[in-house]
Amino acid sequence: MINYEETPEFKKDLRRLSKRFRTLSQDLEVAKRNAIELFHIHRIDNRSVFLIPNFCSERIRVCKLRKFACKALKGRGSKSGVRIIYLFLEKAEKVIFLEMYFKGDKEKENFHRIKKCLKLLEK
pLDDT of residue 89: 94
Which residues are CB-neighbours of 105 under 8 A, at least 6 positions away? none
Burial of 65 (0-12, 13-18, 19+ CB in 10 A): buried
Average predicted confidence (pLDDT) for the chain: 90
Least confident of 19-33, 37-51, 78-92, 95-109: 78-92
Could you read off the pLDDT of 58-93 as tens digits, one per residue? Answer: 889 999 999 888 888 776 656 677 899 999 998 999
How many domains is the chain partitioned into structurally? Answer: 1
The pLDDT of residue 55? 86
The whole-number pLDDT of residue 79 equals 61
Q: What is the CATH number of the domain that holds 30?
A: 3.30.2310.20
Q: In which domain, by residue range, is 57 found?
A: 3-122
The predicted pLDDT at position 114 comes to 93
Residue 65: closest CA among 94, 43, 87? 87
Alpha-carbon gap, residue 27 to 111, rounded angstroms: 25
Answer with the residue of higher pLDDT: 122 or 32.
32
Judged on CB neighbours under 10 Å (0-12, 13-18, 19+), 96 is: buried
The gap from C-alpha 16 to its chain's centroid, in whole angstroms, comes to: 16
Lowest mean per-residue pLDDT among 41-50, 52-61, 90-99: 52-61
